[in-house]
Structures are given as structure tokens and as C-alpha cells.
Amino acid sequence: MQTQKNYKNVGMQIQVLNNSAEPLNVMSSGSTELSSSCNLDGCSTAQKLEQVAINRIPVLSKSGTPLMPCKPAKARKLLEQGKAIKKWSKLGIFYIQLTFDPTSEPNKDQKVTIGIDPGSKFDGYAVTTKTVNLTGMSVLPSGIADKLETRRRMRRVRRYRNTRQRPCRFDNRNRNGFVAPSQKAKVEFRLKVIKELCKLFPVTDFAAEDVRFNHYKKRWGKHFSTVEIGKTILYTELQKMGALHLFQGYQTKEQREKLGLKKISKKDKRTPETHATDAIALASLIYPVEVLTMYPFYVWKRYQNSRRQLHRFEPDKKGIRKRYGGSNSLNPLKKNDVIIYNGKPARIGGFMDKRMSLHNYDLNNKRFTQNAAPDKCYRLFNQRIMFEVELGCRNVNPVYINARDTIPPCPEEQGILYPLSPTL
């Protein structure tokens, strides 16, 4: 072991590794630190350093095949030698992609497990080998049933207006393979997160908690519910990607207590102790986990655009209907675009006349202005999945993360200096 000095003034213990071109199929345990820098204040005088207790960095081959994750020290060495490039996934996860394909058989005799703790509003995730490589929590889409009720009410009102309308149709209803829209949105987002994780890790097994639903007390009957349909769709897709193992709730609790992991009752709190600890316990029921460091911890949430509704409101006296919904904003900007506004990151919302509304760049997505000029907005990228990452008990949302790895340089006249990539 040796100490690396003069690295952002942070002392760090790294292991001396050889110069082999194919060191990524060997899994080892332990943890090290990853340092990332980001200037969130739009100021050129200081950069905020985040020290991250992280176990592994995801690795992809040149052809995009996921390999066994490596230590940050090894990833740093590959980047310095030009054998790998930096990239970020759509979930905001940093990984490296090699500039070559290993000649040996990748991931031989290696096991990677994804633990899944499904819920009605929040899900927990954990990617484990002998260590916990990543933990996460997803906020499932909500309000779908209310939106459908609003649409149904608007359609009924529209049929009584003295306007041209098409005749009623009742022969266009097909219930074969029907999934309730509220359940479908949850299952699709759940599968989206899992598939994005499978693109970064060579997953071999899935451990999920088989959710029990009290059908008898609900109006849907004793042997049927939309939850069961959603579970069937999820399990079928997981079986196509790897071996699926189902466990009961009491097994998860016993394993969590055996590992000494904490769990809190406040389900909406964005910490690993809400749902991620159960996911770790589920994954460890298949293959033992030796190192239980739970960082980095991600929180994912899907951006829910309002659908375009031409007849939501009655027209005004001039016969012009109000705009509502859609994904467009003032050209060339669109909703969900992440921009720099007055030196700070923001997210594009709707528009009125020649002014736009901007929202905070976080999971809450709260609007802070409706009077932003387009010429003062510098576009970075479009983001469909909002995320936050907790790195060593500090919440950050780095603006330089781009799922497509195509962030353009900032114009010099704006005087904004943002690092486009973290430093390993």
C-alpha cells in the first residue's frame, strides 16, 4: 500500500496494481475513496470536493458488455493510461468504458445480484457481489388514477357541447392483456431502473420480495387484483434476464437483523435505511455479502409531463383556448432540459408569451420563476429521469452529469466554469 499525494489535497490509500490489460474479471473486496469536484455556485474561484466511500466502479468493454466492477484506484489508472473513458448512465451512475475488448472470457465464475424491495410508492435496490456496489431508491409514478378521472370527466362534458363531434363508439374496447394504467406506470418504471442497472453490471441473479396483497378486503375480489398482474409482468421480464429468487417478508426481516442493518418506518425519507437495507438483505440471501458499506445511495424519480389537453378549458371570448400540457417550450428548448440560469442549474418548465418558467434542479422540482428569458438560459442536456445521489452523508446533484456524455463547453462570455467530469 502507498499513499497518493497531491491529489486535490486529499490523502488516499491505494493499492499498487500491475499494468495488465485485462485486470477486470477478478473480483476483490475492500473499499477506497473516490473524489469528485463540482462548482454548483457558478463561481470560478472555488470547487466543492466530495469524498465518497465507494466500493466499486462499473466497467463496460469496448463493445458495451458489462464487466465486473473495479476499484476506483484501478479505474483511475486505466483513465490515465488512455485505456478507458468516462461516462454516465441515464440513472446518473458514473462508469468507465474500456477502449478494448478483453480476450479472455469475461465474468467467469462471477456472481452479481440485484436485490429488489418493491412497494406501492417506493422501491429499494441494491447491487451486490461480495461487497455492496450500489444502493438506490425509486419514487414510483403517482396520480395516474386522478388524471384518468379528469380525462373521463372532460370527455363527458365535451359531448354535451353544441359542436361537431364523432359518434360514440363501443366496439373499440379490447381487454386482452389489459393492465391498469396506474400499475403499468409503476411496473414500466421499475423495469426501466433494473434494465439500466443491468447495462452496467453483469447481473446473474435477482432477489425480490414477493409482495403479499390482501385481496379479500378489497373490492376486486379474493383471487384477482392489479397488483398480481403487475407482479406477473415483472417476474416474467426478470426471468428473461437472469435467475429469479423470491422471498417472503419475514425472511427479509430475519436476514436484515442478522446482518445488523437498520430500518426506519418513515417510508418517504431518502436514506438507505428506508428500503435499500431490505434490498441488501434480499441479495445476501443468495450470495453472502462481506462488506456492507451502503454508499453511494441514489434516488430516482421519473419526470411526469402533463399530457396535452386541447379541450381542458372553455374558450375565452375571443374563441382561443388556453395551452396546456405537452413537452414543448420556447424553441430550441424543451421541457426537462437542464440549463444554466444566472450561474445555477435549473430545469425548463412551461412558457407564456416569450417568458419561461424554471424549476429547481432536484427531485422536488419546485418552480422558482415564471419570467425567465430564453437568451439567459444555457442548455446542457435533456433529462427524463431525475436523480439525487448521497455520497458519504452529503446530498449532491452534480450538474456535469450527462447521460449522453455530450455536454458542450460553456461560452466564455458568460464567465461560468463548470467541470464537465469528476476527477477520479
Q: What is the mean pLDDT of residues 45-63?
A: 59
Angle at 159 between CA 153 and CA 164, to 5 degrees: 145
CB 84 within 8 A of CB 98: yes
Cell output for 418: 463548470
**Which of helix, strand or coil describes residue 157?**
helix
pTM across the whole model: 0.76
> CB atoms < 10 A from the CB of 405, how many?
15
Q: What is the mean pLDDT of residues 107-116?
A: 88
pLDDT at 123 over 80: yes
Interatomic CA distance for residues 248 and 269, integer angstroms? 24
pLDDT of res. 277: 93
Name the one residue in this structure whose C-alpha cell is 419475514.
Answer: 250
Confidence band (pLDDT; 50, 70, 90) for 72? confident
Confidence band (pLDDT; 50, 70, 90) for 301? very high
Q: What is the mean pLDDT of residues 213-232?
A: 69
For 259, counting Cβ atoms within 10 Å of its Cβ (0-12 exposed, 13-18 middle, 19+ buried), the class is middle
- Residue 286's H or E segment, with its range, is none
Question: pLDDT tens across 146-191, in order?
Answer: 888 887 887 777 777 777 777 777 777 777 777 888 899 999 999 9
- Look at residues 118, 163, 165, 158 and name the one whose alpha carbon lies nearest to residue 138: 118
Average pLDDT, the chain: 75
Q: In the chain, where are the structural domains located?
A: 1-92+394-424, 113-143+181-302, 305-317+326-383
% of the chain beyond a pLDDT of 90: 31
pLDDT at 86 over 80: yes
Q: What is the mean pLDDT of residues 334-347?
A: 88
Q: What is the mean pLDDT of residues 270-279?
A: 92
Question: pLDDT tens across 126-147, in order?
Answer: 999 989 999 999 999 988 888 8
Name the one residue in this structure whose C-alpha cell is 429488489.
Answer: 116
- Look at residues 148, 147, 138 and name the one whose alpha carbon lies nearest to residue 194: 138
For residues 421 and 94, the model is more confident at 94
Q: What is the mean pLDDT of residues 244-260?
A: 93
Q: What is the mean pLDDT of residues 277-286?
A: 94
pLDDT at 401 over 60: no
Interatomic CA distance for residues 270 and 276, integer angstroms? 10
Confidence band (pLDDT; 50, 70, 90) for 243? very high
**Which of helix, strand or coil describes residue 190?**
helix
* CATH label, 113-143+181-302, candidates 3.30.420.10, 3.50.50.60, 3.40.190.80, 3.40.50.800: 3.30.420.10
pLDDT of res. 365: 87
Confidence band (pLDDT; 50, 70, 90) for 305? confident
pLDDT of res. 148: 85
